[in-house]
Structure 1
Amino acid sequence: MSENKTAPTNVNPREFITAVPHRTRRADSEVLLRMMEEVSGQPATMWGPTIVGFGTYHYKYDSGREGDAAAIGFSPRTANLALYGLTIAPSAKDLLLRLGKHKLGASCLYVNKLADTDLGALRQLALDGYRHMMDEVHHPA
């Protein structure tokens, strides 16, 4: 059984964000931190060296691989902001049409800067993604 290599750390997420060298990424990270704390009701936790996560869920694949991961989160990268857990909820497809400039990866959403996005759509993506990961996927009725 393989475990997730990205685990929670004791690093303070606010200190991590303060150290982000790119001014726009740093400011956008502060907005995302507040937004994701608000929609999840969870404090920020660093997952590995660069992911700021909110909430935790347990996953188990048919292969036997299992572990814990952040329900939603983000990483301020050099080229963009990587957002995790926001594209999996059924409502995501329609919200992404409203979001504005973005790219999709295998499991994440990339935006260059929040100024290029509809923050209302982004907030709803975060809320729906969090609820989906916590309620529907990993705690079914």
Structure 2
Amino acid sequence: MAIKTQPTDASVQDFLDGASPARRVGEGHRVDEIMRTETGAQPVMWGPSIVGYGSYHYVSPSKTSRTEGDWPKVGFSPRKTAMTFYGLKDLPEGAALLPELGTYTEGAGCVYVKRLEQIDIDVLRQLIRIAFSRGDDPRP
């Protein structure tokens, strides 16, 4: 089984400009700038709502089914209730550093931040670099 979220040709700029509430527009552009700087990668829309940087191929063995696919090395989405980050805690070094980020909550694979001013941007930069360091991008 493969994950359904795939890279698209949709405009990252248009997506970020359309974020809601208005505060998320500015935060989204700021996070995009930080991610571009720390990864050196251009952003790509993954599905309709995730801005991703780089990609890697994963295989998750399971007792009942095997899941595999491609996923961004690091990404985010400026959602209404929180800025959602992907990949920040997937590697042991990121998980160890995460408590230093500031005020956040966690989901299964995500880190949620209500306001950027509640986190340490230097720690965010480190977490992004750690997440982006995972395996080589399998795409040419």
CA distance in 2: counterparts of 1:61 and 1:91, whole angstroms: 20
Q: Structure 1 residue 52 and structure 2 residue 59: aligned?
A: no
Alignment of 1:1-141 (within 5 A): 2-62=1-61, 63-131=65-133, 133-134=134-135
Displacement of 1:123: 0.7
Amino acid in structure 1 at the alignment position of 2:111: L
Displacement of 1:22: 1.3
Amino acid in structure 2 at the alignment position of 1:48: G
Deviations 1:63-97 (A, max 9, x none): 33211111100011111011000012222244222
Displacement of 1:125: 0.6
Amino acid in structure 2 at the alignment position of 1:82: T
Moved more, 2-11 or 94-103: 94-103
Deviations 1:39-60 (A, max 9, x none): 1111000000000000010111
Equivalences, count: 135
Moved more, 27-36 or 87-96: 87-96
> For structure 1, which runs of at least 5 residues remain unmatched after alignment?
none
Moved more, 91-100 or 42-51: 91-100
Displacement of 1:100: 0.8
Contact 2:88/2:111, CA 8 A, preserved across alignment: yes
TM-score, normalization by structure 2: 0.89
CA distance in 2: counterparts of 1:93 and 1:48, whole angstroms: 26
**4+ residue runs over 3 A deviation:** none
More helix by share: 1
CA distance in 2: counterparts of 1:64 and 1:3, whole angstroms: 9
> For structure 2, which runs of at least 5 residues remain unmatched after alignment?
none
- Percent identity (aligned): 36
Displacement of 1:61: 2.0
Deviations 1:101-129 (A, max 9, x none): 00011101000011110000011011111
